[in-house]
Copies of this chain bind each other. A is one copy, B any other.
Amino acid sequence: MMTHNTTAEDMIRHHGGRATVGRIGILAILLAEQHAITHREIEQQLSETLPLDRVTLYRTLEWLVEKNLIHKVSSGDRVWRYHVNREMHTHQHAHFKCTRCAQVICLDDLPEKRNWQLPTGYRLQEIELTFKGLCAACC
């Protein structure tokens, strides 16, 4: 956790933001996490050590996304999940969501854009691909 805190602080300073307790704590939680987690889950983890206003959490997550330090995943249940941008996440990738435990993990690749034919006049910007099923623990 110590390591994550210092890593988090470094990441934040490198992007010209103030290294506040909240930002560091939130980013550290995401750094420690394997999976994409929800606002709610982050809030629960924070409440144990560093109670923070709901609104501040929303705004901080927004800021971290803007600065490209984390990314948002939309997994079909109207709830955003957040995950640190490690190297593999700088390019687009797919996600897997377990239909039993709702856990989300990041996968490696996306299909080639050029293999997909859109109606004429349409311009493709981004692909969002989510696999759903059972994870190893829930199978």
Contacts and interface: CB of A to CB of B under 8 A. Distances in A.
Interface string A99-138: 1000001010001000010111111111111111111100
Interface string A30-66: 0000000000000000000000000000000000000
A44 B44 CA distance: 38
A90 interface: no
Nearest to A128: B130
In the complex, the count of this chain's copies comes to 2
Interface size class of A (residues with CB under 8 A): 20 to 34
Contacts of A129: 127-130
A126 B75 CA distance: 12
A6 interface: no
B135 A121 contact: yes
Given A78-B80, A122-B133, 8 more contacts: A99-B126, A122-B139, A123-B133, A123-B139, A126-B131, A127-B129, A128-B130, A129-B130
